[in-house]
A and B are shown apart, each in its own frame.
Chain A
Amino acid sequence: MHKYLSLTKTLMKSGFALQDGKLRKAYRFLLYFILLIAVLPTLASIYILIITTLPMYNQIDQSASLMGVILFIVCITTFLFSLFIIPSIFYFSNDIDFLLALPLKGDHIIASKFTVCLMYEYLTTFAILIPATAAYLSVCGFSVSLCLFALLTALLIPIFPLAISAGLTILIMRFMPFFKNKDHFHFISGILLVVIGISISVYMNSIQAGDESEMLSLLFSGDNSLLTLFMNFFPVIPYFARAIVQGSIVDFIIAVGICILSFIILTGLGRMWYFKGAIGNSEASANHKKLSELSQKEMKQTNKTIAYLKKEWRMLFRTPAFATNCIGSTVIFPCMLLFMSIFSQDQKLLFSMIDTIQYDSNFIYYVIMFGLGAGLFIGCVNMVSATAVSREGNNYIVMKYLPVSYREQIHAKMLLGIIMGIVSDLLIIFAIMSILSFDWYYYVLLFICMCISTVLSNEICIIVDMHKPKLVWEQEASAIKQNFSSFFATMIMLGLCTGMILVALLMPNEYILLATAFFLILCIVASILGYWLCGTLAQNAIDKL
């Protein structure tokens, strides 16, 4: 037990950090505070959603079913996150070879790594369950059993989806050698995550549209009958939901039993196959092509900026964590737009309404304002520029000793972000073209405006990143996912984007021309100044790293 606790503590300390150790305490506190503020709207919306719907569910004796929905969200979120967390911690962490050589039981290693994964999952579990419990307490009145069971459920419920995910990962890694390559695994799991996300969304839409009569009969049969819906996915949900809402000890014991059983099965699987799968994990394969077969093209001389851009391009596309996060988001937004238009009846209605606005005399101004606003957000959401320096990690020193000016290096990095942003803009335009039928010149105008603000947004993002890059990371994905400065930069862009679109929508007709001209000129001038500014600031910022 002592070894398990000591190992868990060490693994936690080595991996569980939002930012690197160089940050001052006050700044770190500020970051956590901003993070809390950022998630507050989500917490509030969960609270409001439950507080408004729970009385209705109470009337039809389905109050535990609503808790079931909340627990389903917890389980599915845990499962989705675990697709990345489990392989990273169990297989691709740099500690595995070291731990295997220590005098530790296999069960200790599996249990410690599982506990670390669990700790990561608690962040989301508590973020969902705290407002949900608060809403139940305010509607149903204070209850000790509700608080107690909610707390115990929050601690225990992630075990089941996590154990399933870990078990599947162990089987895959043991019996499918293709996945043992870290790059292949991250790439496939990245795509899988998007596919699962879209599938869930489509499935939910199809439930709403399809089995309405069946749903209604389940809904009105009372006795929390809706909970049976979750049995197929996560059998712990109905038992935990009843334990929280009805204070049922029997249900709680059954749920705990299922969790313990899932963990015992996992450790059994781990004993049999985890170590065989983890030992000899190859990072990359080699083809041993002879030097004479190398073409002249590969030795071609190029201008410094282009050569640097090519290097950045290769590193981005060949690093799965960067590719799935940066390139993935370039494609996801247009795809989401298309899916919304195909599967959602409400969205179809909205799009048909927008289609008629083109006959408004002010439509051209809306196009410009929307283009400028959307370009700001779409241009930076791929995080290419927002993580340009952070992605270097330990290699940032190469930036400092190369005989290339920081200005040129930063411009090359930013150019990649602008290219990816413009690709994203183009895909959005194509998605809009497939949904709406405006005259062609509106699309051209939209594209030009999006490009202008995409340049500006990349300039702002790279300035933020070069001043506060996250250079200390073990997993490449941390450079993007746990990068608070980049998240902050993206939020600024989202704020500006929303502000600009709101101005367009709320501005009185007589001022819309003036406002449009103002924002257009502002974006053009700021883009030109920004290009100069980020080159100038680079010298000081990179020097300080």
Chain B
Amino acid sequence: MIEIKHVTKTFGGTKKAVDDLSLTINDGEIIGFIGPNGAGKTTTIKMITGILNPDEGEILINHIPIAKEPLKAKQEIGFVPDQADIFLRLKGIEYLNFMADMYEVEQSLRPQRIKELAELFAMENALNDKILSYSHGMRQKIVIMGVLICDPKVWILDEPLTGLDPQSAFRLKERMREHANRGNCVFFSTHVLEVAEKLCDKVAIINNGNILFFGTLKELMDEHPHCESLEALFLEVIQYA
């Protein structure tokens, strides 16, 4: 469960990247975070994951305040950043093992999880190579695998489907659903509205640091019955905010 309470973040003293934002993501839910470029998505995600500290407000991860108990809260979170070029000179297997060590995953669980994830993302033949030699999509996969191997309760994914091949994207979406069905929560940003439509229980639309809408897509469509497509719906919400 993620609770964001009246969070504000200002850069350079004047520009409010996030303005009095409140959201509650319950267990068992997948939430899609949608908004135009520069709307405040990544800043919000960075605050949830403890990378940035909010100027005002509070964020709780499974009831743990991340500002006061960062390590305990971070232990609950698995984060996939939007930029997948991480530790490029480590081998894939070394990166996974490093992440497992950081999250204190028991050794007995590791071989099975690594095997399963490697098969899931078709990375069996790549784990012994340096990440530097991977394509963009493979780098994205190894970062996702680094989160999944640790099996944290809260998944926070910043545009996780970018660069993934269709098969891997499908399998990741399946995993996200399974994870939520097991009583955990998934919060991810995306620009692909169809993904949000098919995968998310609710969507949060953000622009200029403010949440414009938070609810199910059905509720959104009911509010704007004249919009015929998702794009039209999204543009209207953003334009007339």
A314 nearest CB neighbor, chain B only: B90
Q: Is the CB of B124 within 8 A of A290?
A: yes
Expressed in whole angstroms, the minimum distance between the Cβ of B160 and any Cβ of chain A is: 15
The 6 nearest A-B residue pairs measured at CB: A307-B101, A289-B128, A301-B107, A403-B74, A286-B129, A286-B133
Inside 8 A of B102's CB, which chain A residues have their CB? 304, 307-308, 402-404
Q: How far is the CA of A291 from the CA of B126 in the complex (A)?
A: 8
Inside 8 A of B75's CB, which chain A residues have their CB? 403
Q: How far is the CA of A289 from the CA of B126 in the complex (A)?
A: 7
Inside 8 A of B100's CB, which chain A residues have their CB? 299, 301
Inside 8 A of B212's CB, which chain A residues have their CB? none
Q: A286-B129, A398-B86 are in contact. List 16 more A-B contacts (CB 8 A).
A: A283-B133, A285-B133, A291-B115, A294-B128, A296-B111, A298-B93, A299-B110, A304-B101, A311-B87, A315-B90, A395-B85, A398-B81, A400-B49, A403-B77, A403-B103, A405-B71
Q: Is B199 an interface residue (CB 8 A)?
A: no
Inside 8 A of B53's CB, which chain A residues have their CB? 543
Q: How far is the CA of A315 from the CA of B87 in the complex (A)?
A: 7
Q: Is A302 an interface residue (CB 8 A)?
A: yes
Question: CB within 8 Å of A: which of B37-64?
Answer: 46, 49-51, 53
Task: Select which of A301, A315, A403 is within 8 A of B110 by beta carbon.
Answer: A301
B114 nearest CB neighbor, chain A only: A299
Interface residues of A (CB under 8 A from B): 283-291, 293-294, 296, 298-304, 307-308, 310-311, 314-315, 318-319, 394-395, 397-398, 400-405, 543
Q: Is B130 an interface residue (CB 8 A)?
A: yes
The answer to whether residues A401 and B49 also contact, given A289-B125, A298-B93, A304-B104 and a CB cut-off of 8 A, is: yes
Q: How far is the CA of A233 from the CA of B103 in the complex (A)?
A: 59
Q: How far is the CA of A315 from the CA of B132 in the complex (A)?
A: 12
Q: Is B94 an interface residue (CB 8 A)?
A: yes
17 CB < 8 A contacts A-B: A284-B133, A287-B128, A289-B127, A289-B129, A294-B128, A299-B97, A299-B100, A300-B107, A314-B89, A318-B90, A395-B85, A398-B81, A401-B49, A401-B81, A402-B74, A403-B102, A404-B71
Q: Is B118 an interface residue (CB 8 A)?
A: yes
B138 nearest CB neighbor, chain A only: A286
Q: Is B79 an interface residue (CB 8 A)?
A: yes
Inside 8 A of B97's CB, which chain A residues have their CB? 298-300, 307
Q: Is the CB of B94 within 8 A of A302?
A: no
Q: How far is the CA of A288 from the CA of B91 in the complex (A)?
A: 11
Q: How far is the CA of A403 from the CA of B152 in the complex (A)?
A: 11
Indicate with 1 or 0, residue by residue over B102-145, a CB within 8 angstroms of chain A CB atoms: 11111100110011001000001111111011100000000000
Q: How far is the CA of A308 from the CA of B107 in the complex (A)?
A: 17
- Chain A CB within 10 A, most for which of B89, B93, B100, B124: B89
Q: How far is the CA of A290 from the CA of B128 in the complex (A)?
A: 8
Expressed in whole angstroms, the minimum distance between the Cβ of B90 and any Cβ of chain A is: 6
Q: Is B170 an interface residue (CB 8 A)?
A: no
A395 nearest CB neighbor, chain B only: B86
B103 nearest CB neighbor, chain A only: A403
A301 nearest CB neighbor, chain B only: B107
Q: How far is the CA of A310 from the CA of B89 in the complex (A)?
A: 12
Q: Is B83 an interface residue (CB 8 A)?
A: yes
A291 nearest CB neighbor, chain B only: B124
Q: How far is the CA of A319 from the CA of B130 in the complex (A)?
A: 12
Inside 8 A of A318's CB, which chain B residues have their CB? 89-90, 130
Q: How far is the CA of A405 from the CA of B124 in the complex (A)?
A: 32
Inside 8 A of B106's CB, which chain A residues have their CB? 301
Q: Is the CB of B128 within 8 A of A293?
A: yes
A293 nearest CB neighbor, chain B only: B128
Q: How far is the CA of A402 from the CA of B49 in the complex (A)?
A: 9
Q: Is the CB of B125 within 8 A of A290?
A: yes
Task: Select which of B87, B107, B125, B130 is within 8 A of A299 by beta carbon.
Answer: B107
Q: How far is the CA of A51 from the CA of B106 in the complex (A)?
A: 71
Q: How far is the CA of A401 from the CA of B74 in the complex (A)?
A: 7
The answer to whether residues A298 and B94 also contact, given A284-B130, A291-B118 and a CB cut-off of 8 A, is: yes
The answer to whether residues A394 and B107 also contact, given A288-B129, A403-B75, A404-B71 and a CB cut-off of 8 A, is: no
Expressed in whole angstroms, the minimum distance between the Cβ of B86 and any Cβ of chain A is: 6
Q: How far is the CA of A290 from the CA of B122 in the complex (A)?
A: 11
Expressed in whole angstroms, the minimum distance between the Cβ of B210 and any Cβ of chain A is: 25
Indicate with 1 or 0, residue by residue over B10-46, a CB within 8 angstroms of chain A CB atoms: 0000000000000000000000000000000000001
Task: Select which of B85, B90, B130 is within 8 A of A311 by beta carbon.
Answer: B90
Inside 8 A of A291's CB, which chain B residues have their CB? 114-115, 118, 124-125, 127-128
Expressed in whole angstroms, the minimum distance between the Cβ of A388 and any Cβ of chain B is: 15
A320 nearest CB neighbor, chain B only: B89
B81 nearest CB neighbor, chain A only: A397
Q: How far is the CA of A294 from the CA of B79 in the complex (A)?
A: 26
Inside 8 A of A293's CB, which chain B residues have their CB? 128
Q: Is the CB of A315 within 8 A of B51?
A: no
Inside 8 A of B49's CB, which chain A residues have their CB? 400-401
Q: How far is the CA of A495 from the CA of B167 in the complex (A)?
A: 60
Expressed in whole angstroms, the minimum distance between the Cβ of A434 and any Cβ of chain B is: 35
Expressed in whole angstroms, the minimum distance between the Cβ of B102 and any Cβ of chain A is: 5
The answer to whether residues A301 and B51 also contact, given A315-B90, A402-B74 and a CB cut-off of 8 A, is: no
The answer to whether residues A397 and B125 also contact, given A300-B107, A319-B89 and a CB cut-off of 8 A, is: no
Inside 8 A of A395's CB, which chain B residues have their CB? 85-87
Q: How far is the CA of A412 from the CA of B154 in the complex (A)?
A: 27
Q: How far is the CA of A497 from the CA of B98 in the complex (A)?
A: 38
Q: How far is the CA of A290 from the CA of B134 in the complex (A)?
A: 15
Q: Is the CB of A403 within 8 A of B51?
A: no
Inside 8 A of A304's CB, which chain B residues have their CB? 101-102, 104
Task: Select which of A299, A303, A308 is within 8 A of B93 by beta carbon.
Answer: A299
Expressed in whole angstroms, the minimum distance between the Cβ of A291 and any Cβ of chain B is: 4
Q: How far is the CA of A285 from the CA of B102 in the complex (A)?
A: 28
